[in-house]
Homo-oligomer: A and B are copies of this chain.
Amino acid sequence: MRNLKLTIQYNGQNYCGWQKQPDSLGIQGTIEKAIYDITREEVKITGSGRTDAGVHALGQVANFKTSSNIPASKMPNALNAKLPKDISIIDCIEVDEDFHSRYSSKKKRYRYLIHNSPYRNPIYKDISYHVKYDLDFEKMCKEAKSLIGEYDFKGFMSSGSSVKDTIRTIYDITLTKEDGLIVMEVEGNGFLYNMVRIIAGTLVDIGRGRITKNLEEVIKSKNRGECGHTAPAHGLFLKKVDY
């Protein structure tokens, strides 16, 4: 069996998330259906991680085993012809049989878009979090740097996760702003459930003055209640997974 690695972009707006639900295929099931359409094989694809309902991807990774002999380089166009327009396969390569999209991943990079203006933006409305309040952008940038390093990010995890080891390393976080659009990018060795959205929400709450403690102290507290709100799903993009 060949092991194929896909790189996938999607607009998550109309999906229940990566994972199949009883009444909905999800991104995963939609791609599995397209694979069936071209190979007649009922495969299971493994994603680098689940994305929640509404979350987008610029570089999600998934792999699957197949006995089809369609060349990897032909896969993106073949699959895209069967997929809805809000999902796009942008790369396919053959990998070692022991490659696993989730367990083999070394680094992930996420992007979060915040539209900071009293008024709605008709271009970015479906892919950014609209924050109407004035945000102190300089302060957000300064505080964000405290996230870089290896910490116990227990406070930055939504309840409902069964994960025990809550230590993660953040390698990089950047915030840029142009025309009211704040682009946050964060890279780490892994992220807890809702961690990026809680980071975004915490930085918004810091920028708004609702959190007055230093972010360093907030991290140290390991307390979900000390962190900010969970920013909405539709501002989040899984940008890149490194192996």
- Cα distance, A90 to B123, chains bound together (Å): 13
Closest to A239 in B: B179
User: CB distance B86 to A11 under 8 Å?
Assistant: no
From B87, B118, B119, B125, give the contact of A122 (CB < 8 A): B87
Residues of B near A119 (CB, < 8 A) are: 9, 76-77, 80, 88-90
From B87, B89, B123, B237, give the contact of A127 (CB < 8 A): B123
From B9, B85, B90, B120, give the contact of A85 (CB < 8 A): B120
Residues of B near A123 (CB, < 8 A) are: 9, 11, 56, 58, 127, 237
Residues of B near A76 (CB, < 8 A) are: 118-119
From B10, B86, B122, B237, give the contact of A9 (CB < 8 A): B122
Most buried by B among A11, A76, A120: A120
A80 CB to nearest chain B CB (Å): 6
Q: Please provide the chain A residues from 109 to 152 with a CB less than 8 Å away from any CB of chain B in the complex.
A: 117-123, 125, 127
Residues of chain A at the chain B interface (Cβ within 8 Å): 9-11, 56, 58, 76-77, 80, 85-90, 117-123, 125, 127, 179, 237, 239
- 9 A-B pairs besides A88-B119, A89-B119 with CB distance below 8 A are A9-B119, A9-B121, A9-B122, A9-B123, A58-B179, A77-B118, A80-B120, A87-B122, A179-B239
